[in-house]
Structure 1
Amino acid sequence: MSLLAEYHLYIMIAALVGLVFFIPSEYRKKKSIITMIVVLAFSSGYELVMKEPVTRMPSRINRALNQDGADHDENTHYYQDPISRSKKTYNN
Protein backbone atom coordinates (compact mmCIF):
# COMPACT_ATOMS: atom_id res chain seq x y z
CA MET A 1 0.00 0.00 0.00
CA SER A 2 1.38 3.40 -0.86
CA LEU A 3 2.25 5.97 1.76
CA LEU A 4 -0.39 8.38 0.47
CA ALA A 5 -3.18 5.80 0.72
CA GLU A 6 -2.05 4.71 4.14
CA TYR A 7 -2.12 8.20 5.66
CA HIS A 8 -4.96 9.76 3.65
CA LEU A 9 -7.07 10.46 6.75
CA TYR A 10 -4.25 12.37 8.41
CA ILE A 11 -3.60 14.28 5.19
CA MET A 12 -7.28 15.28 4.97
CA ILE A 13 -7.30 16.43 8.59
CA ALA A 14 -4.09 18.42 8.03
CA ALA A 15 -5.60 20.06 4.94
CA LEU A 16 -8.75 20.92 6.89
CA VAL A 17 -6.75 22.48 9.72
CA GLY A 18 -4.67 24.38 7.16
CA LEU A 19 -7.77 25.73 5.45
CA VAL A 20 -9.42 26.76 8.71
CA PHE A 21 -6.47 28.29 10.55
CA PHE A 22 -3.78 29.27 8.07
CA ILE A 23 -5.66 30.76 5.11
CA PRO A 24 -6.01 34.55 5.14
CA SER A 25 -9.44 35.80 6.14
CA GLU A 26 -10.22 37.38 2.74
CA TYR A 27 -9.99 33.95 1.12
CA ARG A 28 -12.09 32.24 3.77
CA LYS A 29 -15.17 34.13 2.59
CA LYS A 30 -15.08 32.59 -0.89
CA LYS A 31 -17.63 29.89 -1.62
CA SER A 32 -15.03 27.50 -3.03
CA ILE A 33 -12.98 27.58 0.18
CA ILE A 34 -16.10 27.14 2.31
CA THR A 35 -17.15 24.20 0.13
CA MET A 36 -13.71 22.60 0.46
CA ILE A 37 -13.83 23.02 4.25
CA VAL A 38 -17.29 21.42 4.46
CA VAL A 39 -16.36 18.50 2.19
CA LEU A 40 -13.11 17.82 4.04
CA ALA A 41 -14.84 18.05 7.42
CA PHE A 42 -17.60 15.66 6.32
CA SER A 43 -15.14 13.20 4.78
CA SER A 44 -12.86 13.20 7.81
CA GLY A 45 -15.76 12.88 10.23
CA TYR A 46 -17.31 10.03 8.25
CA GLU A 47 -14.05 8.11 8.17
CA LEU A 48 -13.44 8.62 11.88
CA VAL A 49 -16.95 7.55 12.87
CA MET A 50 -17.55 4.70 10.41
CA LYS A 51 -13.97 3.34 10.33
CA GLU A 52 -14.14 2.95 6.54
CA PRO A 53 -13.21 5.15 3.56
CA VAL A 54 -15.71 7.65 2.20
CA THR A 55 -15.48 5.93 -1.18
CA ARG A 56 -17.48 2.99 0.22
CA MET A 57 -20.43 5.18 1.24
CA PRO A 58 -22.27 4.98 -2.16
CA SER A 59 -22.22 1.19 -2.12
CA ARG A 60 -23.46 1.16 1.49
CA ILE A 61 -26.36 3.46 0.53
CA ASN A 62 -27.11 1.36 -2.55
CA ARG A 63 -27.29 -1.84 -0.51
CA ALA A 64 -29.56 -0.21 2.07
CA LEU A 65 -31.97 1.14 -0.55
CA ASN A 66 -32.12 -2.11 -2.54
CA GLN A 67 -33.15 -4.31 0.36
CA ASP A 68 -36.58 -5.87 0.25
CA GLY A 69 -39.28 -4.47 2.48
CA ALA A 70 -40.79 -6.24 5.44
CA ASP A 71 -42.87 -9.31 4.75
CA HIS A 72 -46.26 -9.93 6.30
CA ASP A 73 -44.78 -12.49 8.69
CA GLU A 74 -41.95 -10.21 9.86
CA ASN A 75 -43.92 -7.12 10.71
CA THR A 76 -47.58 -7.79 11.33
CA HIS A 77 -48.38 -4.37 12.81
CA TYR A 78 -47.17 -2.26 9.88
CA TYR A 79 -47.58 -4.47 6.85
CA GLN A 80 -50.63 -3.85 4.69
CA ASP A 81 -51.45 -5.95 1.70
CA PRO A 82 -51.40 -3.63 -1.34
CA ILE A 83 -54.57 -5.10 -2.81
CA SER A 84 -56.60 -4.76 0.38
CA ARG A 85 -55.19 -1.26 0.94
CA SER A 86 -56.29 -0.16 -2.53
CA LYS A 87 -59.74 -1.67 -1.95
CA LYS A 88 -60.07 0.34 1.27
CA THR A 89 -58.82 3.51 -0.38
CA TYR A 90 -60.78 3.35 -3.61
CA ASN A 91 -63.81 1.32 -2.41
CA ASN A 92 -63.58 -1.23 -5.21
Structure 2
Amino acid sequence: MDPFSSPSSGSSSQPSTEAIMDQLKTQLAQAYMEEFVETIRGKCFEKCITKPGTSLSGSESSCISRCVDRYLEATGIISRALLSSPR
Protein backbone atom coordinates (compact mmCIF):
# COMPACT_ATOMS: atom_id res chain seq x y z
CA MET A 1 0.00 0.00 0.00
CA ASP A 2 1.38 3.46 -0.85
CA PRO A 3 1.49 6.19 1.83
CA PHE A 4 -1.49 8.02 0.30
CA SER A 5 -3.92 5.09 0.35
CA SER A 6 -6.49 5.07 3.08
CA PRO A 7 -6.85 1.72 4.79
CA SER A 8 -10.26 0.24 5.38
CA SER A 9 -9.36 -0.46 9.00
CA GLY A 10 -7.25 1.45 11.52
CA SER A 11 -3.91 -0.13 10.62
CA SER A 12 -0.89 0.90 12.70
CA SER A 13 1.41 0.40 9.68
CA GLN A 14 0.08 3.57 8.02
CA PRO A 15 2.73 6.31 7.95
CA SER A 16 2.08 9.29 10.17
CA THR A 17 1.22 12.69 8.75
CA GLU A 18 4.61 13.91 9.94
CA ALA A 19 6.40 11.12 8.05
CA ILE A 20 4.48 11.94 4.88
CA MET A 21 5.28 15.64 5.24
CA ASP A 22 8.97 14.85 5.76
CA GLN A 23 8.96 12.69 2.64
CA LEU A 24 7.26 15.46 0.63
CA LYS A 25 9.75 18.05 1.88
CA THR A 26 12.63 15.79 0.87
CA GLN A 27 11.14 15.23 -2.58
CA LEU A 28 10.52 18.95 -3.06
CA ALA A 29 14.08 19.79 -1.99
CA GLN A 30 15.45 17.21 -4.42
CA ALA A 31 13.30 18.55 -7.27
CA TYR A 32 14.39 22.11 -6.47
CA MET A 33 18.06 21.13 -6.51
CA GLU A 34 17.69 19.30 -9.82
CA GLU A 35 15.99 22.32 -11.37
CA PHE A 36 18.60 24.64 -9.86
CA VAL A 37 21.50 22.61 -11.28
CA GLU A 38 19.84 22.39 -14.71
CA THR A 39 19.24 26.16 -14.76
CA ILE A 40 22.82 26.94 -13.81
CA ARG A 41 24.14 24.38 -16.26
CA GLY A 42 22.05 25.81 -19.09
CA LYS A 43 22.64 29.49 -18.42
CA CYS A 44 26.31 29.28 -17.51
CA PHE A 45 27.20 26.78 -20.22
CA GLU A 46 25.60 28.93 -22.92
CA LYS A 47 27.33 32.02 -21.63
CA CYS A 48 30.78 30.64 -20.87
CA ILE A 49 31.57 27.69 -23.13
CA THR A 50 32.31 28.95 -26.60
CA LYS A 51 34.09 25.89 -27.96
CA PRO A 52 33.07 22.68 -26.17
CA GLY A 53 35.95 20.24 -25.84
CA THR A 54 37.41 17.69 -23.48
CA SER A 55 38.45 20.29 -20.89
CA LEU A 56 37.75 23.87 -19.86
CA SER A 57 40.11 26.70 -20.66
CA GLY A 58 41.15 28.99 -17.84
CA SER A 59 38.81 31.74 -19.01
CA GLU A 60 35.91 29.30 -19.35
CA SER A 61 36.54 27.97 -15.85
CA SER A 62 36.64 31.50 -14.41
CA CYS A 63 33.49 32.44 -16.30
CA ILE A 64 31.63 29.36 -15.00
CA SER A 65 32.74 30.11 -11.45
CA ARG A 66 31.61 33.75 -11.64
CA CYS A 67 28.33 32.76 -13.31
CA VAL A 68 27.48 30.22 -10.62
CA ASP A 69 28.47 32.64 -7.84
CA ARG A 70 26.24 35.36 -9.28
CA TYR A 71 23.35 32.99 -9.79
CA LEU A 72 23.63 31.76 -6.19
CA GLU A 73 23.83 35.34 -4.94
CA ALA A 74 20.78 36.41 -6.97
CA THR A 75 18.81 33.37 -5.78
CA GLY A 76 19.67 34.23 -2.17
CA ILE A 77 18.57 37.85 -2.60
CA ILE A 78 15.28 36.79 -4.16
CA SER A 79 14.66 34.18 -1.45
CA ARG A 80 15.33 36.65 1.34
CA ALA A 81 13.07 39.25 -0.29
CA LEU A 82 10.24 36.74 -0.66
CA LEU A 83 10.59 35.50 2.90
CA SER A 84 10.68 38.97 4.42
CA SER A 85 7.84 40.49 2.39
CA PRO A 86 4.58 41.07 4.24
CA ARG A 87 1.74 38.82 3.18
TM-score (norm 1): 0.32
TM-score (norm 2): 0.33
Q: Which has the higher contact order (CA 8 A, sep 6+)?
A: 2
Q: Which structure is larger by alpha-carbon Rg, 1 or 2? A: 1
